[in-house]
A and B are shown apart, each in its own frame.
Chain A
Amino acid sequence: MGDEELAKDLGLLSALTIGVGTMIGAGIFVLPGQAAAAAGPAVALSFVVGGVISLFTALSASELGTAMPKAGGSYYYVNHALGPLLGSIAGWGNWMGLAFASAFYTLGFGEYIATFLPLPAIVLGPVGLTAYQVGALIAGLAFIAVNYIGAKETGSVQVVIVTLLVGILTVFSVLGFLQADISTLRPFFPPETGGPAAVLPATGLVFVSFLGFAKITTVAEELKNPGRNLPIAVVGSVLIVTTMYAIIMVVLMGVINWRQLGPAFTTTPVLDVAEIAFGTVGLAAVGVGLLTFAGLLATASSANASILASSRINFAMGRDKLISAKLNVIHPNFATPYRSIAVTGSLILLFIVVGDVKTLAKAGSVLHLIVYGLLNIALIVMREADVEEYDPAFEVPLYPIVPILGALTSFGLIAFMEPIEIALSLVFVAGGVIWYLVYARGKADKKGILSQYILARSDELPQPAVKAASTVQPDGGTYRVMVPLANPEHEKDLITLASAIAKQRGGTVDAVHIVTVPDQTALAGAAEYTDEIDASSETLLERAREDAETFGVPVETHTIISHRRFEEVFDAARSHDADLVVMGWGADSHGSPGRVESAFDEVTQEVPCDFVVMRDRGFDPSELLVPTAGGPDSDLSASVAKLLQQEYGSDVSLLHVTDDEAEGRSFLDSWAEEHDLEDATLLVESGDVETRIEEAAADASMVVIGATERGLLNRLVSGSMVLDVVDDVECSVLMAEKARRRSLRERLFG
């Protein structure tokens, strides 16, 4: 057996028991009273509806799981397919959903423990804790400790626990069934609960009983033969528990009238029924004992599995840089992700203190339903985007009906929750969005399949979709310098400049060859040009790679086929998350006349990143001249000069042209200091600006100038403006224009 197989040691039975063990928890041992009060005997139907909704998602999760057996499960698929924005929502939703559900399971455990252990109610200042909550807090601490220390023995008893549970519940059902009276079940739809209309809201309440099948996918990487075992375990566990739930509900309400099962009469309706059912064979006490034991096992295993699953989601989110890697540090002695467990554990304890059973159950359900809905959409995206690596061993039947129904029913069930619970879910969605934009966007480097799909087809798909996809792209952690290449003659100088900057900023160079084809040629049909394009691109990009590598700078190369050239630069800068674009410009590289102006309308609104445009007359950074009149664009020219100085030890001269020499000198002094260029030669001249610049440039090997007014870049590349200075000086000229990003609000809604 190879290491690969050794790492994967979860068999079918283990996988099945994870699903069944997590699901048969508080849902069946704690909620029946609340559920009975919500819909009467028809709540059996609510469980079936919950099972059907779960089944759609279970099928989708199985397909995604066999295609991508990665730690993190549902979160991973959503993030992978739909990108880090929705990934953040799914990750936080899944994590918090598990914390809420764990608090709910633990509270259920507290209720069972309180039936035989006299626990005191405690008042701590403003917080009053019931005996159940005290029991739950103690139990919660124990579950967290077990996971923190990571006793592997807990895992090996999982199969035993679940087998015992299923056994006890089967005996219970059979004995109960013998005692059940069909007339107790009538009316099946009691008018006081609202008749059949009560079924779906009750499904919302009991859906927490189905959270668990997707947890199998969070450990998919550990499954033996996941292609076969994952779908069987996921779908199988849903079918098993749905059947058990429906039968047990009918039995419960057949033995005791549903009105007497409600929370007003008892907190542990299952025990009341057990007393009667086992009482007929003279074993009432044994029955109550067995069911109490089962209730404890069930809630404990659910809570335990949820805590474990949440640390997997943390790990997966950390892997995608959506949360800090610090959370996923492994304990030196226990080899557990102890920080993640401690944080989740603290949340669970907090939720136990502030929440009641019903709220916790529904909060857990709503958040999971959001994740399940997104998961189904993720599957559709993976199929439609036709990703080569996507090769699931199991495919959902009746595609696309199953995932569509899965998404609709998952989101739809949320509508049957109370407004406050819906509001809560929206708070978490908003929280995920804000988290992404404020924290994660600058760090995440992984793009979703969806946005790649849209951006790769930016010419075919509607503009709003393309724009939406590009505005929420992750920035990536590193500084990226993109170099659009067209003319091989200038390749070396551009790459040298870009590499020098990237090296100083610890960033990477992204060399892009933009190949323009005539408008008449469909991009998809450009395949006929492929050989030609390949050959020229390859040589050009290969040289670019070599030149960048002499600086020891990481380099990426891409070829883009487009109808447009300059517009494509802007698009590529956006989609490649460039921080700086270094491009060449000269008499030979004007845009094609006639169609440029209109194409640039959109561009003038936003410069996606910093730009340095080079009029290339040889790369010699020994004597830099930086003319400045202040302003954001000259800030960029100053930092480019500074970076070149650091790399090449250049002599830098700063030039300010003004008629008031004293004022000009003090301006230049403070400007130099501000930009860390105190060692530069300061030149203050009066007279005609362009003439003075040209004179000073005679001594320089390169001029670095900021755009003096907005939109210089656009007019420059569109050929609608000619800057005399650029043409009149002898040396190379770098023109800098700062990014103009739209505000957060504009980006979201603009």
Chain B
Amino acid sequence: MAELLDNVVLPVASRDDAAETVAAIRPYLDGAEVTVVHVIEKAGGAPDKASVEQREEEADHIFDIVEDGLADATVERDLRYSTDTVDAIFDAAEDADASAIVVSTRGGNRLLQLLTGDVALKLVTENDRPVVVLPHDDDSTEPTPDTEDGSDHG
């Protein structure tokens, strides 16, 4: 698997997601190149649901969590703005010439997945390069730094 995980793109959606993804992927990475991608979803012609600056601040926190968690890997930050999260992730993978896109299955029930448009599912079904789905292990979930609220998860 070493070659497959040589140069991976790691999409992360939130601080919780970042902590979980880091915990899930850490055992498999050995000096790999990691491009961590966060997509700020744009409304495309209407005001966004949150201020762009606010989302950018949040993105910094998310990137920090991944960088701190993957101290052994070379972590590259890639912040994207797009109306389509999945397209943006594929673009990031192409720009990074990634060997694979790695996702950890996100928690949440069906309703939540419906409301948020489950990105992991779309990544797996619409992919143009290898997508590695890591198991979501509750025991390995690290407490999320700086997040005051984890109750909405799962």
Contact = CB atoms under 8 A, between A and B. Distances in A.
Contacts of B47: 10, 18, 155, 219, 222, 305, 308
Given A315-B54, A332-B147, A333-B116, A6 B45 contact: no
A373 to B, nearest CB: 25
Contacts of A329: 147-149
A330 interface: yes
Interface string A8-25: 011100100010000000
B152 to A, nearest CB: 6
Interface in A20-40: none
B50 A150 contact: yes
B45 A155 contact: yes
B50 A315 contact: yes
A354 to B, nearest CB: 29
Contacts of B143: none
B16 interface: yes
B13 interface: yes
A7 B39 CA distance: 11
A221 B58 CA distance: 16
B108 to A, nearest CB: 6
A152 interface: yes
Interface in B11-48: 13-17, 40-48
B49 to A, nearest CB: 3
Interface string B103-128: 00000100010011000000000000
B152 A221 contact: no
A222 B53 CA distance: 9
Contacts of A70: 53
Contact of B41 (A18, A149, A308, A335): A335
Range for the number of chain B residues in contact with chain A: 35 or more
B62 to A, nearest CB: 10
B53 A9 contact: no
A648 B80 CA distance: 49
B49 A3 contact: no
B133 interface: no
Interface in A311-353: 311-312, 315-316, 319, 326, 328-337
A147 B49 CA distance: 7
Interface string A132-170: 000000000000000101101011101100000000000
A343 to B, nearest CB: 14
Interface in A213-243: 219, 221-222
Contacts of B50: 150, 311, 315, 330, 335-337
A700 interface: no
Interface residues of A, number: 41
A3 B45 contact: no
Contacts, number: 124
Interface of B is mostly: loop
A198 interface: no
A71 interface: yes
Residue picked from A72, A150, A311, A332, most chain B C-beta under 10 Å: A332
Contacts of B52: 7, 71, 221-222
B45 A9 contact: yes
B49 A332 contact: no
A326 B148 contact: yes
Interface in B73-90: 79-83
Interface in A188-224: 219, 221-222
B14 A333 contact: yes
Nearest to A215: B47
Interface of A is mostly: helix
Contact of A3 (B13, B80, B83, B150): B80
Nearest to A337: B50
A11 to B, nearest CB: 7
Interface in A556-608: none
Given A71-B53, A147-B49, A335 B79 contact: no
Contacts of B51: 71-72, 219, 221, 311-312, 315-316, 337
Given A329-B148, A333-B153, A337-B54, A150 B49 contact: yes
Given A3-B79, A7-B40, A330 B55 contact: yes
Contact of B115 (A6, A10, A221, A334): A334
Contact of A331 (B40, B44, B79, B152): B152
Nearest to A157: B46
Given A332-B17, A335-B14, A337-B54, A6 B46 contact: no
Given A156-B44, A330-B54, A335 B148 contact: no
A326 B148 CA distance: 8
Contacts of B40: 7
A119 B149 CA distance: 37
A11 B115 CA distance: 27
B2 to A, nearest CB: 32
Nearest to B47: A219
Nearest to B88: A6
A150 B14 CA distance: 15
Interface in A72-104: 72
Contacts of A219: 47-48, 51
Nearest to B62: A330
B114 to A, nearest CB: 11
Contact of A152 (B55, B83, B152): B83
A440 B40 CA distance: 30
Contacts of A150: 49-50
B54 A333 contact: no
A3 B152 contact: no
Contact of B112 (A71, A333, A335): A333
Residue picked from B14, B17, B44, B47, most chain A C-beta under 10 Å: B47
A14 B108 CA distance: 34
A155 B43 contact: yes
Contact of B58 (A11, A326, A330): A330
A72 B150 CA distance: 27
A215 to B, nearest CB: 9
Nearest to A334: B116
B96 to A, nearest CB: 15
Given A9-B42, A222-B48, A333 B79 contact: no
A73 to B, nearest CB: 11
A158 B43 CA distance: 11
B45 to A, nearest CB: 5
A330 B115 contact: no
A442 B52 CA distance: 28
Contact of B44 (A9, A305, A334): A9
Interface of A: 3, 6-7, 9-11, 14, 18, 70-72, 147, 149-150, 152, 154-156, 158-159, 219, 221-222, 305, 308, 311-312, 315-316, 319, 326, 328-337
28 contacts: A6-B42, A7-B81, A9-B45, A10-B45, A11-B45, A18-B47, A72-B51, A150-B49, A154-B46, A155-B44, A156-B43, A156-B44, A156-B46, A308-B49, A311-B51, A315-B54, A319-B53, A329-B148, A330-B54, A331-B14, A332-B17, A332-B147, A332-B150, A333-B112, A333-B115, A335-B14, A335-B50, A337-B50
Given A222-B47, A315-B53, A330-B14, 12 more contacts: A3-B79, A6-B80, A14-B45, A221-B53, A305-B47, A315-B54, A330-B55, A332-B14, A332-B16, A332-B147, A333-B152, A336-B50
Interface of B: 13-17, 40-55, 58, 79-83, 108, 112, 115-116, 147-150, 152-153
Q: What 8 A-B pairs come out closest when comparing CB atoms?
A: A155-B46, A150-B49, A332-B14, A155-B43, A71-B51, A6-B81, A219-B47, A332-B16
